[in-house]
Amino acid sequence: METIPYSIVIPAYNEGERLGATLEKVLAYVRQQAWDAEVIVVNDGSRDNTAEIVRAFAEKDPLLRLVENPGNRGKGYSVRNGMLQARGEVVVFSDADLSSPIEEMPKLLDALAAGADIAIGSRWLRAELQTQRQSLHRQLFGRVFNLLLRIILGLKFKDTQCGFKAFTRRAAQTILPLQRIERWGFDPEILFLARKFGFRVEEVAVAWGHSGGTRLHPLVDGARMFQEMLRIRWYDLTGKYDVGPEATAQQARTLPGRPAPKV
């Protein structure tokens, strides 16, 4: 598969109301930067017109393509599916609401150029960059969640959950086939695997503004994410992540329409 410099992956579930504006901004910015790039929207079994919107844009712009999940599988599955089908030497995933504006992407690219394997956007490294904060109870939930990540998984980042991250191709194709968490708790698993395999992760302060319409329920999804933290630790203790390149390549074939990675 011929590679290109950049891929931007956008997971989408029932994003019909705001996806059009998002694609206009992302595609315009890519062209403004004169990047050799692709934009991939991964439709996670949406029940609205998400797929139709992407197809309409793709008919007019060859930079864009649609990837379909086999039904609704979750954000983690969507990110993995899109990133492992991407052709970029650098693969970025961004939330569909552009809570971190696409104009912040050069900050992540600069971190990779300086030697990082993974650059993760952070809302709390410089909190003054937040243009619209979450409610106090959601902020409290986030701080408790971050503390548990430090205790259970040893992740020392200020923010693991910002939906704006960049990977070198090698890091993505080594880590993503091993990912097992398919819903909200996939970010800590990716970062845990990055540390396990010795990849350098750089936390980067980015502008960020809370967007309405989030589907995360602090109590229900918080309990699920805590369980997923324990699952990550259990998978590691039981050797589920201890596989060689051949097994990694084999796991990469489990998603539809995706070539096995080069490892």
What percentage of the chain reaches a pLDDT higher than 70?
81
The pLDDT tens digits for 231-247 are 999 999 999 998 654 44
CA-based nearest residue to 200, from 116, 97, 113:
116
Percent helix, strand and coil across the chain, each to the nearest 5: 45, 20, 35
C-alpha 42/C-alpha 134 separation (Å) is 26
C-alpha 59/C-alpha 56 separation (Å) is 5
The pLDDT tens digits for 47-56 are 999 999 999 9
pTM of the model: 0.86
Q: Please give the residue that has the higher pLDDT: either 43 or 133.
A: 43
Provide the β-strand partners of residue 205.
122
pLDDT at 253: 44
The pLDDT tens digits for 110-136 are 999 999 999 999 987 777 676 665 556
Q: At 49, list the tokens.
A: 């017109």
What is the rounded average pLDDT for all residues in the chain?
87
Residue 81 DSSP SS3: helix
Q: At 75, list the tokens.
A: 């954000």
Least confident of 11-20, 132-141, 220-229: 132-141
Residue 65 DSSP SS3: strand
For the chain, the C-alpha Rg in angstroms (whole number) is 17
CATH of domain 4-254: 3.90.550.10
Q: Look at residue 85 and tell me whether its pLDDT is greater than 60.
A: yes
